[in-house]
Amino acid sequence: MPNLFLSLFQSPLLPATQPLTYRLFPDGESYIRFETPLNNQEVIFVDSLNQPNEKIIPLIMAADAARQEGAQRIGLIAPYLAYMRQDKKFHPGEAITSKTMARLISQSFDWMITIDPHLHRYKALSDIYTIPALALSAAPILGDWIRQHVTNPLLVGPDSESAQWVSEAAQHAQAPFIILEKTRHGDHDVDITIPNFPEIDQYTPVLVDDIISTGQTMIQAAAHFSVSPYCVGVHGVFSGSAYDNMKQANFAEIITCNTIPHPTNQIDIWPLIASALAPQ
Ligand code: R5P
């Protein structure tokens, strides 16, 4: 079955000209048209789910239309998968939106590949996704980047959740790591405490996290170091003025993977995705 890769939101991986028209009508409704036959093809949408609210409805509609046009299987490559942090009711009455998102995607696509989804209280995507859903880890390539670019690094995870990817990245960086403690009081309000580590000032700190959203986690963590830390994130969401705020902090450099296009992208995840797609 031939593969046809499509992007509604212009993935930099795919040709700028796509056999697909996607635009909004003046009233904000989606217009989707496939400019090529889809009969008997495996149609693979390649779109990160940052700004998820504006992307998910068009993607679901496109998947539904692709099936009506004769596509045999429909996959989703979403290097950044949104809504994974809403994985429990933190307060009575709250929506566990990760489950709703999982249901919507599982109903519309036959399979999915993503990178470092925020698995905290869920052990695997299969806890909530009912389709084959592959979570690739960028930790090895983060670690390799750090080994090649940073002298005498000490990897720093800003909170307990980060231990899973920081420990793996540290192995590849051939460097030690520490995990800080974070208390979140609100969307833009976090407190961070740092454990004792002998001769910490002899190292170049490298903060490593899965998501940079408001940037406050990274900014508050950086404030604990006298040596300017590197800031390395898998997914640079950079909400609102996050990037401007981070540029005012004392980072040696801010680096992200290209799961979401941004000037800080220095680590290429597409070879990782290509190898997951290659026939075994
Ligand atoms: C939280 O659980 C994630 O791993 C990140 O630490 C968090 O999303 C970062 O958010 P912000 O940049 O808004 O502090």
How far apart, in whole angstroms, are the C-alpha atoms of residue 128 and residue 113?
14
Tell me how far the alpha carbon of residue 220 lies from the centroid of ligand 1, in angstroms: 11
Band the pLDDT of 12: cuts 50, 70, 90: confident
Average pLDDT (27-44) is 97
Distance, in Å, from the CA atom of 203 to the CA atom of 225, rounded to the nearest integer, reads 10
CA–CA separation, 241 and 57 (whole Å): 26
Per-residue pLDDT at 278: 82
**Atom number of ligand 1 nearest to Cα 120:** 2
What's the gap in Å between 260 CA and the centre of ligand 1?
16
- Residue nearest atom 10 in ligand 1 by C-alpha distance: 213
> Crossing angle of helices 139-149/163-173, nearest 10°?
40
The one-letter amino acid at 129: Y
Q: Is residue 259 within 8 Å of residue 271, measured between CB atoms?
A: no
Per-residue pLDDT reduced to its tens digit, 43-62 = 999 999 999 999 999 999 99
Q: Which atom, in ligand 1's list, is nearest to the CA of 190?
A: 14
Which residue minimizes the CA distance to atom 5 of ligand 1? 211
Q: What is the pTM of this model?
A: 0.95
* Residue whose C-alpha is closest to residue 36's, from 82, 63, 80, 69: 69
* Mean pLDDT score, 21-40: 97
Contact call for residues 125 and 105 (beta carbons, < 8 A): no
Residues 6+ apart with CB under 8 A from 95: 86
Work out the percent of the chain whose per-residue pLDDT is above 90: 95
Question: Is residue 230 within a helix (H) or strand (E), and if so which, with residue range?
Answer: strand 230-236
State the pLDDT at residue 115.
Answer: 98
Q: Are strands 189-193 and 181-186 parallel, antiparallel or unpaired?
A: antiparallel
Q: Which atom of ligand 1 is nearest to the CA of 216?
A: 14
Segment 115-136, tens digit of pLDDT = 999 999 999 999 999 999 999 9
**pLDDT value, residue 280:** 64
C-alpha 246/C-alpha 251 separation (Å) is 8
Mean pLDDT over residues 213-236, rounded?
97
Q: What pLDDT is attached to residue 279?
A: 75
- Mean of the pLDDT values across residues 147-152? 98
Which residue is it, tokens 């990782």? 272
Q: What is the dihedral of CA 214, 220, 223, 225, to 10 degrees?
A: -110
Q: Specify the pLDDT at position 186.
A: 92
Rounded to whole angstroms, the Cα distance separating 166 from 191 reads: 20
State the DSSP code for 258.
Answer: T
Please check the confidence at residue 93 and state whether its pLDDT lies above 80. yes
